[in-house]
Amino acid sequence: MRLGSVILFVAVCSFTAYYIYEPIPEEIEERWKLMLTNSFFRSLSHLADFSELLGLKDYMGVMYFITLAERVVPVSDVHVKVTEEKFDGVEVVLYQPKQRGGDTELRRAVIYLHGGGWCLGSSRMSPYDLLARKMVTELDAVVLSVEYRLAPAHHFPVPYEDVYRVVKHFLQKGVLAQFSVDPGRIAVAGDSAGGNLAAAVSQQLQKEPGRQIHLKAQALLYPVLQALDLNTPSYQQNQDMPILPRTLMVRFWSEYFTSDKALFRAMMANTHNNAESSSLLKFVNWSAFLPETYHRKYNYSAPAVVHAVGMDGPSRSFADPRASPLLVPDTALHSLPKAYVLTCEYDVLRDDGIMYVTRLRAAGVKVTHEHYDTGFHGALMFTLWPTDFLIADRMTENYIKWLKENL
């Protein structure tokens, strides 16, 4: 009996070690903590696949547990006043510095858009709540965190339109005066899918004729910027990296546009482009826009162009610059606000951000590019125990420092 217990114990430990261990690059700090953290995400993903296979609950419905597990009720504290509002019908969480007696000075403002692949995430998650409070206290800024509606219940362009409506509402003179915001010191920022929305909104606002109040800055934190080529060097190099493997990113893209699994299968094979989107592939030609050092061992091959029956709607969507901001022509980039772009070496989205940096600089836009050689996707959000990472603190510090100097 005792020998059997020992064998069982060793077997369980061996299986656990086998399941947790991943061949993560040596350069990444706190590798074992990342392995442990990712084992939870992988377990939940496996459960979501199984649930969907059995018809119990769709994949994103199960994965939404991540959002629920970190959800908090934003409340005021000694330094920050927190209120929940609706701007043009869209929920927002508003963070403001506590008023001091006789304080009449106008403040900066940051409109923050959370990540989560347009399907997960919330401004009410604890890491976003903590980040908003840091921006308020360290920048003496008003922070507007947008609770946009999510796919797959609300496909593109609903999440984008929610954000656009909030930003337009906030950029009214009367609204800015109500919250003591300086009209010349407003930024939009976001991470991952939130970076996508921030870039898209920045572009679309510049197209509005007669607009009087403009954004001063945009901060794009490991943003996702294009859906045409899902086989860039970073997608290939990091296809099995923790937190955001290629399969999950492709699933986020497909669910953003449609619940039809045919698109997911086509995007996985990188055969989802049609004649309409193929004309835009020149804007995501990584052999032209990526510095040579990021080409690695990969050779450029243009994505296949096919015509899949029933895919016309989604094809039009992922060729829409409101979904893929990297697809706008150079003429649409010249007037954009200064940008901060954060990229991570071990991230499938690395090349999206770097290609955008290249194109923005070529268009004359002032860009600060912060690349983390040991970074991984989502790192900025790992600031709370037990999943607190040292790199998250550095990212947060550098991001807020840039805002302090440029806003």
Q: What type of residue sits at position 136?
A: V
The catalytic position among 114, 155, 272, 377 is 377
First and final C-alpha spacing in the chain: 69
- Between CA 249 and CA 243 the distance in angstroms is 10
Q: Quick one: DSSP state of residue 155?
A: -
Is residue 377 annotated as a catalytic residue, yes or no? yes
Judge whether 347 counts as a catalytic residue. Answer: yes
Cross-strand partners of 81: 96
DSSP state of 331: G
Strand order across the beta sheet in which 181-191 lies? 80-87, 90-97, 141-146, 107-113, 181-191, 217-221, 338-346, 367-376
**Of residues 162, 191, 320, 347, which has the active-site annotation?**
347
Cβ–Cβ under 8 Å, residues 222 and 343: yes
**Residues comprising the chain, all counted:** 407
Give the CA count within 13 Å in the CB-facing half-sphere of 145: 27
* Active-site entry in 192, 234, 254, 315: 192
Check: CB of residue 303 under 8 Å from CB of residue 273.
Answer: yes
Torsion-angle region of 121 (φ positive above 0: left; ψ -120 to 50: alpha; else: beta): left
How far, in Å, are 40, 63, 66, 236, 264 from residue 43 at the CA level? 5, 10, 12, 23, 21
Beta partners for residue 181, in sequence order: 107
Tokens matching residue 398: 């550098």
Just list the catalytic residues: 192, 347, 377
